[in-house]
Structure 1
Amino acid sequence: MSNLLPEIKALGTIWWIEIFSEISDKDKQVVYDDLLVFISEFENKYSRFRQDSLITKLNDTRKIENPDHITIDLLQTGINLYKQTEGLFNILIGEILENRGYDANYSFLPKEANLIIPNPTEELSISQNLITLSKGRIDLGGFGKGYLIDLIVKRLKDNFNLEYFLINGGGDIYATSDNGKPIEIYLEHPIEKDTFIGTTTLFNQGFAASSPHKRKWKAGDKIFSHIVNTKEEPISIDGTFVKADTVAKADAFATVSLITTPEKIINFANKYNFSVAFIKSNDTSLFYNKNW
């Protein structure tokens, strides 16, 4: 049995939530209403595209007083990912993206600037009473949606006693199971629209995919992307697919896998216990690690 909730538009994408347990129409509406508010509140607090969000406040005023535990954990997770990825994943890329034109107005009009990405372990200070930001501007796009999905997973289990479901937030996915059966999903080709290059199954796992081709724009004779190559290594990957125990981890490492070597991708996967598949540039084969 499958119960698909009405779609939700948030964080620049469409959300689908499917429940595989028996649930009445009344209870399904209660779940939908709750998640609609929960997702909206998260977006209002943590999107850099909103002028009244906490992230915009931190970027502009350089401090947040008396932060709640989710804000603390969210930003600390960003710092931890920076350390785990040896600096490849960096939440202080907001200014770079804004200068490329990926700003609150979606102007896509780049500005000439030679910016250095700050180190969040040095410039972002987090305590129970105060968060301060010395340099840079925060962007949580690299893992924020995945983090939110993980919160929703916990919410569905704890608040509604739901066991079997799938959450799809614009391609970032978490699936428990379909009454004990793994759930099969399709892997979309990163360049060829509406083309699938394979399938994989999820069983109490998160999933994310990333590609430098998905969100790009042209200004003058230059092409810009939402992917910030923090180490300025040549990008040789057209698309990545990651499965992990959390969607936040899958989200972050799907992005990181685009801006490093295939060898380092596999090393990260083995070290941090996730599965990865990727397509190299000019190659139609799907490469993956042994756990895929």
Structure 2
Amino acid sequence: MPRAGTTPPAEASWRFDAIGTPWEIVTPEPLGDDSRRAVTVVIEAFDAAWSRFRPDSVVTALARTGGRAPAPADAEEMLDAFAALSTATQGAVNPLIGGSLERLGYDASYSFTPHDPVAAPPDWTAALTWGGGVLALDRPATIDVGALGKGRLVDLVAAVVAGATGGDIVVDAGGDLAVRGSSQRIGLEHPFDPGRAIGVWEVTDAALCASAVNRRTWGGGLHHVLDARTGLPVRTIAATWAVAPTAMIADATATALFFDGGPRLAFEWGVEWVRMTTDGRVDWSPGCRADLFTGPASVGR
């Protein structure tokens, strides 16, 4: 995700790979074995529920046959947020986008062999239901929670780490990060030149999440940020950044900002944001505290 890095507040750093992205957890003292195991358990449980890339996950089983399954513990909170995203973006964000991503080649085998695009089912809130401890699909379909799922997992990991240390921490999952305690200055990576930043954002006891079209790309200009209504990659926005109290809300807002309706949703949620268009213009939310190195195309658009 677009960033230029963080300034660690403490001395101990634990780096590892999980859910297809590099992680770094910075703490005042090295995490003990029990705490590391607890982090690993949280990540494994989330992956076993929501990963469309593993054959034994809950969403993979539903993709094969539809039907009912025990709902993961965070299903209600995540899918309620998806419903708000879908409404705000007039259907551009949709958790049944997984089939569209697979059609373009971003599938469980990482074939990256594209076929004709397909839109996600527009009636997703009828097809996919949740509540009462049950997650259900009335037809086979592929759930993809990428619009906010990594942020949710960052929150879960941060809660484990904060409980184990009680001090300043940073949990960074490939640019989606939570800061607890002392402030961190985080660079906003230019989406067209990873060696440059378009600004710096000081984050205190909050989360910053980012999304960009230069990440997870493959042939023919394809990338992972799709408009669910068409099944095609977005072309107008290049990168987004959002700061919110939780990483899930920051991640969800960063996704919404690729579409009309995203800024209004950010305002309703009280989220600050910055975004860059594919022609290099930058705009941001009113009152945004990011220190940007360029002027806006418009403010609060």
Normalising by structure 2, report the TM-score: 0.83
Instruction: Give identity over the alignment, percent.
Output: 26
Q: Which moved more, 1:6-15 or 1:133-142?
A: 133-142
Equivalence for 1:291: 287
Q: 8 Å contact 1:212–1:258 — kept in the other structure? A: no
Aligned equivalents of 1:216, 1:161: Cα separation in 2: 37
Letter aligned with residue 222 of structure 2: F
CA distance 1:120–1:194, change in 2 (3 Å): same
Spell out, residue by residue over 1:116-136, the C-alpha distance to the aligned partner (whole angstroms, 9 max, x if none): 433322111223253221243
Q: Secondary structure at the match of 1:39?
A: helix
SS for the counterpart of 2:39 is: helix
Does the 8 Å contact 1:176/1:202 carry over to 2?
no
Does 1 or 2 have the higher relative contact order (CA < 8 Å, sep 6+)? 2
Equivalent residue for 1:51, pick from 48, 51, 55: 55
**For 2:44, what is the secondary structure of its paired residue?**
helix
Tell me if the contact between 2:119 and 2:229 (Cα under 8 Å) persists in the aligned partners.
Answer: no
Write the deviation string for residues 195-236 of structure 1: whole angstroms up to 9, x where unpaired.
212100111111111122222211xxx432111123459732
Check conservation: 1:72, 1:128, Cα contact below 8 A: no
Aligned residue number for residue 229 of structure 1: 227
Alpha-carbon separation, structure 2, partners of 1:59 and 1:110: 20
Q: Which residue pairs with 1:65 in the alignment?
A: 69
User: SS at the partner of 1:65?
Assistant: strand
Whole-Å separation in 2 of the counterparts to 1:268 and 1:75: 16
Q: Is 1:246 equivalent to 2:246 in the alignment? A: yes
Unaligned runs of 5+ in 2: 1-8, 289-301
Cα RMSD of the aligned pairs, angstroms, is 2.3
1:125 corresponds to which of 129, 139, 143 = 129
SS at match of 2:14: coil
Q: Match of 1:239, SS?
A: strand
C-alpha offsets along residues 154-196 of structure 1, whole Å, 9 cap, x if unaligned? 2233x42524211100110110232xxx211111001112221
Pairs within 5 Å for 1:1-292: 2-20=10-28, 23=29, 25=30, 27-112=31-116, 114-135=118-139, 136-157=141-162, 159-160=163-164, 162-178=166-182, 182-218=183-219, 222-231=220-229, 235-260=235-260, 264-283=261-280, 285-292=281-288
CA distance in 2, matches of 1:10, 1:55: 18
C-alpha distance in structure 1 between counterparts of 2:46 and 2:181, whole Å:
26
- Report the 3-state secondary structure (helix = DSSP H, G, I; strand = E; otherwise coil) of the residue aligned with 2:287: coil
Q: Which runs of 4+ in 1 moved over 6 A?
A: none
Q: CA deviation at 1:241?
A: 0.9
> Structure 1-normalised TM-score?
0.86
8 A Cα contact 2:76 2:130, kept in partner:
yes
For residue 273 of structure 1, report the CA deviation from its aligned partner: 0.8
Distance in 1 (CA, whole Å) between partners of 2:133 and 2:198 is 48
Identify the structure with the greater strand proportion. Answer: 2
